Amino acid sequence: MGGMGIASSSVPGSQRGRKLSIGTILHGHDLVVDRSALLGSGSFGAVHLAHDKTVSSDVAVKVIPFSKTSIDEDREAFEVEVSALESLADSDHVVGIERSFTINDNKAGVIVMELADGQDLDEYLQEHGDCLDRDTVLWIAVRLAIALRDLHEAGWVHRDVKCGNILLYRDADGHLSNIKLCDFGLVAKAGEPVEQVAGTLQYMSDVLVRGYNGLITPPKPRPADDMFAFACVMLELMGGVEEFDEWHDLRLVRMENDVRKRDRLRFPKRIRTTYRHDLLDLLEQCWHDDWRWRPSANDIVDLLEEINPSGIVTTRRPSTCSRRTRSQPGSTCREPSSASEAGAHTERTCTPGSDRSACSEEAGAPVKAASGASKRSRSSTATPAPGGVVEGPGGIASRVKRRRR
C-alpha cells in the first residue's frame, strides 16, 4: 500500500467539454462505483463505495474537488493527506491507503482506501446508549493511543481526533477486533505554521479555540493538540455524551472567565470511582493549559498496556450506567446496591464490544459499511468565518456551537 506517489490523468480529447459523471471518470482508473452507496460527504468532498478491479476488492474512494479560488492550496492539502497516509502504511491502527491520483486536469484529487466493514465510534456509542464497560473503554483507548503514537513519531498532527473519526472493526463472530484512525483531511506537519485553526471545537484546547475565534495568531500544530482531544474522547467513552457536554459547558465558562491553572480541568467524581487514579491523572494532564506539560501518546500507551496488557480481558459483571441514554431518553439506570449484586468476586472473560448484560451473548446489531473516512458530515468541523471570528453575542461560550443532544 502507498509509496507510489500521486498519478494524474486528463479527460480524453473526444470527451473534453462534456460533463462526465464521477462513475465514468473513475471507471477509467479500474474503479467501478456503486452509485447507490455514498459512504460520506462534506465540505471536503465525498466518499464513494467502489470495486477496485486492480485488487479485486471493494474500496472506499474519497474524491476531493479543488476550489477554483484556492486550487494550489487545495492540491497541497491533498498531497499532504496522501503523504501522511502513505507514511503510516505500516500502522495497524490507521486506515490504509491503496493509491491516489488526480482527475479532471488536476482539478480534483482521489484517494483509494481500504473499506472498513464496521461503524465509527460515535455510531457505536449511540447504538450502545453511551454505556460502555470499563474493559471495552480501555481496549479502545490503548489502540487509539498507539495510532497517535505512530502518527506523531512520523511527524504528523491529525488535528481532528474525535469519536466520528475512529473506525471499529469486527471479527467473523461479530466481536470488536480492531480500531483505526481515519479522515486525515486536516492533517498537518508538526511545528509548521498554518493559516487557520481547524478541527472540531469540542475537542480543541483552549488556545486553539481562541485561535479559531481570531483572538490570537493560529498556533503551530503540535502532537499535544491531539492528546488534548484524546482525553476528550476518553471522557466521552467513560462518561457518555451528557457527561461530556456538561464538562464542555464548564470549560466554556472557565474560558469566558479566563480561569486557568487555578481551576484544573478534571474528570467527574463518578468516573474517578471506576478507573485507576493514575490513568485519570495522566489523562487530566492532557488538558493542561501549557502544551509542554501534556503527556505523549507513548506515555499513555505504556500505562494502558500495564493496566490492560492482553487482548482478552477479565472483568466483573458490568454495572449499569447511571445516566440517561440517547437511544432511550427517558430511561434511568442505577449502580448495584451490594457487592454480591455487582458480582464483586465473580469474574468472567469478555471480548471487547460484547453485550454488557451477558458477556457470553453475541454482540449487538449487524455492523454497517463504513469507509476509510468518517461517514458523518464534516459540518461539525470548524472552519473560520471571514476574518477568523465567529459572530454572536456573549463571548466564547455563545460562539462555540454545541455538538448534539
Number of H helices, E strands in the chain: 11, 15
Distance of CA 311 to the CA centre of its chain: 22
| Cα–Cα distance for residue pair 72/61, rounded to 1 Å | 22
> CA 137, 140, 141: angle at the middle one, nearest 5?
80
96, 373 Cβ separation under 8 angstroms: no
68 is in an annotated binding site: no
Cα–Cα distances (Å) from 131 to 318, 374, 387, in that order, read 10, 22, 41
- Please give the radius of gyration of the chain, using alpha carbons only, rounded to the nearest integer: 22
Cβ neighbourhood burial of 305 (10 Å; 0-12, 13-18, 19+): middle
| Cα–Cα distance for residue pair 144/229, rounded to 1 Å | 11
Cell of 87: 507514511
β-pairing verdict for 97-103 and 6-8: parallel
Which residue reads 489523562 in cell numbers? 283
Tell which residue, 64, 63, 149, 60, has the closest CA to residue 97. 60
**Residue 176 forms beta bridges with which residues?**
170
Angle between helices 277-285 and 223-256 (to 10 degrees): 80
In the annotated binding site, the residues are 62
Please report, in range form, the residues annotated as the binding site for ATP.
62
